[in-house]
């Protein structure tokens, strides 16, 4: 006769936490399925066992005042990574301009927790942002762009990024309210679009957000 297996615990595993020991906490934010089977999602400890809807609702109470927008004309693989960074830095909304479909692999399912909004073209996007009173800040190394390291980044704004390679379209550059660039020191003309987006979002956090 073999010994009975040990009872499940909620101790951390390499993939999250295991089943929660009973009796379960009386908290409507918790997901019974996760409590029973464990939570292997890539979420911070604060949200262990929480349902996805509960996590989104809590994030909505704390989202930052900046949005992020990406032109999507070439099915750029960087868009997913930008969405992931937007979730990490708690952006309000990610705006996809152009093609509705985008490669979500790099998002690592963070798009489930991030508001994503589609605009058919640059004109529709600019009109929507003007209607909301949200300044559009183009991020590109265009003539006359201010260095983000020394510029006063607006607290309420939307950062607009172009495609890997061609960068922002002429229409997007012309329609932006401000232009910022990331100072570079090497030989390459530009840096990866998703890396640029992460740098810009962190620059906003440094100027406007309090450490949690």
Please tell me whether residues 185 and 93 are part of one structural domain: yes
Please tell me whether residues 130 and 180 are part of one structural domain: yes
pLDDT of 141 strictly over 80? yes
Please tell me whether residues 110 and 50 are part of one structural domain: no
156-200 residue pLDDT tens: 999 999 988 788 999 999 999 999 999 999 998 889 999 999 999
Within-domain flag for 4: no
Within-domain flag for 6: no
Within-domain flag for 24: yes
pLDDT of residue 188: 87
pTM of the model: 0.90
Within-domain flag for 3: no
* Number of separate domains in the chain: 2
Q: What is the CATH number of the domain that holds 173?
A: 3.40.1280.10
116-138 residue pLDDT tens: 999 999 999 999 999 999 999 99
Please tell me whether residues 102 and 48 are part of one structural domain: no
pLDDT of 204 strictly over 80? yes
Please tell me whether residues 44 and 122 are part of one structural domain: no
Within-domain flag for 51: yes
pLDDT of residue 142: 86
Residue ranges of E strands in 44-140: 66-72, 93-98, 115-119, 136-139
13-59 residue pLDDT tens: 557 999 999 999 999 999 999 999 999 999 999 999 999 999 999 99
Q: Which residues pair with 118 in a beta bridge?
A: 96
pLDDT of residue 5: 43
Please tell me whether residues 91 and 54 are part of one structural domain: no
Interstrand relation of 12-13 and 16-17 (parallel, antiparallel or unpaired): antiparallel
Within-domain flag for 23: yes
Please tell me whether residues 113 and 186 are part of one structural domain: yes
Question: In terms of Cα–Cα distance, which of 115, 105, 110 is closest to 69?
Answer: 115
Please tell me whether residues 168 and 147 are part of one structural domain: yes
Q: Is 168 exposed, middle or buried (0-12, 13-18, 19+ CB in 10 A)?
A: buried
User: Residue 101 sits in which domain range?
Assistant: 62-208
Please tell me whether residues 178 and 196 are part of one structural domain: yes
Cβ–Cβ < 8 Å for 73, 49: no
Please tell me whether residues 79 and 178 are part of one structural domain: yes
Per-residue pLDDT, averaged over 146-155, amounts to 96
Within-domain flag for 109: yes
Please tell me whether residues 78 and 163 are part of one structural domain: yes
């Amino acid at each position: 006769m073999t010994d009975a297996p040990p009872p499940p615990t909620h101790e951390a595993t390499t993939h999250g936490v295991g089943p929660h020991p009973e009796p379960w906490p009386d908290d409507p934010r918790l997901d019974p399925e996760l409590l029973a089977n464990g939570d292997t999602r890539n979420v911070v400890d604060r949200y262990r066992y929480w349902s996805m809807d509960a996590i989104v609702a809590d994030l909505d109470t704390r989202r930052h005042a900046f949005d992020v927008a990406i032109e999507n004309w070439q099915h750029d693989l960087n868009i997913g990574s930008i969405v992931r960074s937007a979730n990490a830095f708690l952006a309000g909304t990610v705006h996809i301009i152009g093609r509705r479909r985008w490669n979500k692999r790099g998002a690592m399912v963070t798009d489930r927790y991030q508001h994503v909004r589609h605009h058919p073209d640059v004109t529709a996007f600019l009109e929507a942002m003007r209607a909301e009173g949200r300044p559009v800040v183009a991020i590109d190394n265009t003539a006359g762009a201010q260095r983000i390291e020394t510029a006063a980044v607006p607290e309420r704004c939307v950062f607009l990024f172009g495609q890997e390679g061609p960068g922002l379209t002429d229409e997007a550059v012309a329609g932006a309210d401000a232009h910022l660039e990331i100072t570079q020191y090497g030989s390459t003309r530009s840096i990866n679009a998703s890396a640029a987006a992460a740098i810009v979002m962190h620059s906003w956090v440094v100027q406007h957000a309090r450490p949690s």
